[in-house]
């Protein structure tokens, strides 16, 4: 059976069900790299150039692991846009070329171009082109893609129920996950999905908050119309898809009375984060806000201390009925 490798990084968290279903419907076996660990991080840092952001370095580590898995293809899409009039960070356009330039033992790279900024005509052609690597039957390729879309929608529905995208993938695959429902604080947690839902990159921040009896409100739980409405209040449209989601989601939660605080997780070296994080920090006026920047450091003590201090402050503010006092002092 033909084996297709999918690195467990970057847009894996958003679209794994789609591509896994597509390739399996074409008769391929899908192989993923393991969850991010210190070895993957370390190898990614060694291989990637210094100028790339942390999640991209981790992605290199995942690709490196798959290169030793005896696979026939490795799926590294060239993502330009995933919706009309919006774009993804430019690094996603160059990922296939960056990977090719850094590895000597790569299997054949499936580098389908995904650009929905104007329409989906070109994507349909790309889907057929990729499908023909497995079969010459165009009807079978189209059916495989339609089934993939159905599974992606099922996954999206799961992610709206309060699960992280990583957890939603496990639920989609049939695993069981039970969330801790004991909590007295509700905290909005924002950041790129490939950062906050990768437990190694984010240092497991969402589960740490849950252990501190906080409920993490993530952007996937919000309706897209609400996000777009709030994001449209900015003087200039945010053209990054995920950046706009973060800004709109944070502004919405800033107005909600049931949300106690907001945290934004930024990755060192991320260009969009340097702008989006700053915009959110300036625009959030009604809730205590904390910006956390993560990088290759593995020490978690500093993060735990900051989370504990933030939660203590929120509980004190709540118990003393200080919600009428400005969160900015």
SS (H, E, C) 238-265: CCEHHHHHHHHHHHHHHHCCCCCEEEEE
Question: 226-248 burial, b for 16+ CB within 10 Å, e for fewer?
Answer: ebeebbeeeeeebebbbbbbbbb
Mean pLDDT for the chain?
Answer: 91
- Quick: pLDDT tens for 135-184: 999 999 999 999 999 999 999 999 998 899 999 999 999 998 887 778 88
In a domain? residue 172: no
Residues with Cβ < 8 Å from 76, sequence gap 6 or more? 7, 63, 95, 96, 99, 109, 110, 111
- Quick: pLDDT tens for 34-51: 999 999 999 999 999 888
Confidence grade of residue 8 (pLDDT, cut at 50, 70, 90): very high
Among 99, 132, 161, the domain-final residue is 161
Most confident of 12-16, 52-56, 325-329: 12-16
- Look at residue 320 in the predicted model and tell me its pLDDT: 73
- Quick: pLDDT tens for 198-253: 998 999 999 999 999 999 999 999 999 999 999 999 998 888 999 999 999 999 99
Confidence grade of residue 270 (pLDDT, cut at 50, 70, 90): confident
Same domain, yes or no: 83 and 208? no
- Look at residue 310 in the predicted model and tell me its pLDDT: 94
- Quick: pLDDT tens for 52-80: 889 999 999 999 999 999 999 999 999 99
Of the two residues 299 and 115, the one the predictor is more confident about is 115
Among 111, 132, 161, the domain-final residue is 161
- Look at residue 95 in the predicted model and tell me its pLDDT: 93
Same domain, yes or no: 37 and 137? yes
Among 112, 131, 161, the domain-final residue is 161
The tokens for 300 are 């978690």
Same domain, yes or no: 192 and 228? yes
CATH of the domain at 70: 3.40.50
Whether 328 shows a pLDDT value over 60: the answer reads no
Same domain, yes or no: 81 and 7? yes
- Quick: pLDDT tens for 305-320: 999 999 999 999 888 7
Same domain, yes or no: 139 and 75? yes
Could you list the residue range(s) of the whole structural domain that residue 44 is in? 3-161
Same domain, yes or no: 109 and 213? no
Domain count, the chain: 2
Same domain, yes or no: 149 and 279? no
């Amino acid at each position: 059976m033909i084996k297709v490798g999918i690195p467990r990084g970057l847009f894996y968290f958003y679209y794994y069900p789609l591509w896994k279903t597509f390739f399996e419907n074409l008769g391929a076996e899908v192989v993923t790299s393991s969850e991010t660990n210190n070895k993957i991080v370390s190898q990614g840092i060694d291989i990637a150039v210094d100028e790339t952001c942390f999640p991209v370095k981790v992605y290199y580590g995942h690709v490196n692991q798959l290169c030793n898995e005896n696979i026939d293809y490795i799926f590294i899409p060239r993502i330009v846009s995933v919706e009309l009039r919006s774009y993804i960070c430019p690094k996603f356009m160059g990922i296939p070329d960056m990977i090719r330039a850094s590895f000597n033992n790569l299997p054949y790279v499936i580098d389908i171009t995904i650009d929905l900024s104007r329409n989906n005509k070109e994507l349909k052609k790309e889907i057929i082109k990729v499908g023909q690597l497995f079969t010459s039957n165009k009807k079978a390729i189209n059916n495989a893609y339609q089934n993939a879309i159905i599974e992606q929608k099922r996954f999206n529905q799961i992610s709206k129920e309060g699960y992280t995208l990583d957890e939603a993938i496990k639920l989609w695959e049939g695993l069981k996950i039970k969330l801790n429902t004991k909590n007295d604080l509700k905290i909005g947690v924002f950041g790129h999905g490939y950062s906050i839902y990768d437990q190694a990159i984010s240092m497991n921040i969402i589960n740490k908050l849950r252990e501190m009896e906080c409920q993490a409100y993530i952007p996937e739980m919000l309706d897209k119309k609400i996000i777009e409405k709030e994001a449209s209040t900015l003087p200039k449209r945010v053209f990054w898809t995920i950046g706009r989601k973060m800004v709109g989601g944070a502004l919405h939660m800033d107005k909600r009375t049931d949300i106690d605080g907001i945290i934004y997780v930024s990755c060192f070296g991320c260009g969009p984060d340097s702008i989006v994080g700053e915009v959110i920090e300036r625009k959030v006026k009604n809730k205590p806000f904390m910006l956390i920047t993560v990088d290759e450091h593995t020490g978690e003590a500093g993060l735990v201390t900051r989370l504990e201090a933030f939660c203590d402050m929120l509980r004190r503010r709540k118990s003393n009925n200080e919600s009428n006092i400005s969160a900015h002092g």
